[in-house]
Structure 1
Amino acid sequence: MEYYLQLVINGLVVGSIYSLVALGFVIIYKATKVVNFAQGELVMAGAYVCFSLTVQFQVPFLAAFVMTLAFSVVLGLAVERLVLRPLIGEPVISVIMVTVGLSSVLKALVQLLWGTQLRAYPQVLPQEPVFIAGLPVSPVYIAAFALSAVLFLVFSAFFKYSRLGVAMRATALDQQAAQSMGIGIKNIFALSWCIAAVVSSIGGVILGNINGINSQLGHLGLKVFPAVILGGLDSLLGAALGGLIIGVLENVCDGAAKDLFGLGGVREVAAFVVLVVILMIRPYGLFGTKQIERV
Structure 2
Amino acid sequence: MSTFVSLFIYGLSEGAILALAALGFVLIYKATGVINFAQGEFLLIGAYTFYTAFVILRLPIVVAALVGVVAAVIIGVLVERFILRPMVGQSHISIIMVTIGLAGLLSALVQMFFGTQPRSMPPLFPRTQLEILGAHIPANRLWVLLVAGIVLTLLTLFFQRSKHGIAMRAVADDQQAAMTVGISVRRVFALSWALAAVSALIAGILLADVTTVEMNLVNFGLLVFPVVILGGLDSVPGTIVGGLTIGLISQFVAGYLDPGLAEVAPYIVLVLILLVRPYGVFGEKRIERV
TM-score bracket for the superposition, by shorter chain length: over 0.9
* Corresponding residue of 1:119: 119
Q: TM-score, normalised by structure 1?
A: 0.95
Tell me what 1:213 maps to. 213
| Letter of the structure 2 residue corresponding to residue 55 of structure 1 | V
CA shift, 1:294, in A, is 4.3
* Structure 1 residues 253-268: aligned runs within 5 Å: 253-258=253-258, 264-268=259-263
Partner residue, 2:245: 245
Residue equivalent to 2:3: 3
Q: What letter corresponds to residue 74 of structure 2 in structure 1?
A: V
Match of 2:40 in 1: 40
Q: What is the distance in 1 between the residues matched to 2:71 and 2:227?
A: 27
Q: Deviations over 1:157-216 (max 9, x none)?
A: 112211111110111111111112211010000000000000000000101111012112
Offset of 1:226 from its aligned partner? 0.2
Which has the higher mean CA deviation after the structures are superposed, 121-130 or 34-43? 121-130
Answer yes or no: is the 8 Å Cα contact 2:2–2:133 preserved in 1.
no
Asked whether the 8 Å contact 1:37–1:221 carries over to 2, the reply is: no
Shift of 1:220: 2.2
Contact 2:5-2:133 within 8 A present in 1 as well: no
Secondary structure class of the residue paired with 1:215: coil
Deviation digits for residues 83-129 of structure 1, max 9, x if unmatched?
11111122222111111100000000000000001111112222212
SS in 2 for 1:284: coil
Superposed structure 1 runs of 4+ greater than 4 Å apart? none
Residue matched to 1:135: 135
| Cα separation, 1, equivalents of 2:21 and 2:148 | 10
Instruction: Give 1:41-190 correspondences, 5 Å limit.
Output: 41-190=41-190
Please tell me the residue identity of whatever aligns with 1:38: A
Alignment partner of 2:168: what SS? helix
Gaps in structure 2 of 5+ consecutive residues? none
Deviation at 1:131, TM superposition (A): 2.6
Task: After TM superposition, give the deviation of residue 11 of structure 1 in Å.
Answer: 0.6
Supply the distance in 2 between the matched residues of 1:80 and 1:254 (Cα, whole angstroms).
38
Q: Does 1:282 align with 2:277?
A: yes
Instruction: State the secondary structure of the residue aligned to 2:112.
Output: helix
**Native 8 Å contact 2:40 2:220 kept in 1:** yes
| SS of equivalent residue, structure 2 residue 257 | helix
Tell me, yes or no, if the aligned pair for 1:29 and 1:233 is still in contact at 8 Å.
yes
Q: What letter matches 1:276 in structure 2?
A: V
In 2, Cα distance between equivalents of 1:55 and 1:149: 26
Distance 1:206 1:14 in 2: 9
Question: What is the Cα deviation at residue 130 of structure 1?
Answer: 2.4
What's the CA shift for 1:22? 0.8
Letter in 1 for 2:268: V
Give the aligned length. Answer: 290
Alpha-carbon deviation of 1:62?
2.0
Q: What are the Cα deviations for residues 247-284 of structure 1, in whole angstroms up to 9, with x where unaligned?
A: 000110121114xxxxx411110000000000000111
**Corresponding residue SS for 2:37:** coil
Gaps of 5+ in 1: 259-263
Distance 1:98 1:7 in 2: 38
Q: Measure the CA separation in 2 of the matches of 1:153 and 1:211.
A: 24
- Checking the alignment, whether the CA contact within 8 Å between 2:12 and 2:145 is kept in structure 1 is yes
Alpha-carbon distance between aligned partners in 1 of 2:156 and 2:55, rounded to the nearest angstrom = 34
Report the counterpart of residue 261 of structure 1 in structure 2.
Answer: none
CA drift of 1:139 comes to: 2.0
Partner-residue secondary structure (3-state), 1:131: strand
Amino acid at match of 1:274: V
In structure 2, how many angstroms separate the alpha carbons of the residues matched to 1:224 and 1:267?
15
1:292: which partner in 2?
A: 287
TM score, norm. by length of structure 2: 0.97
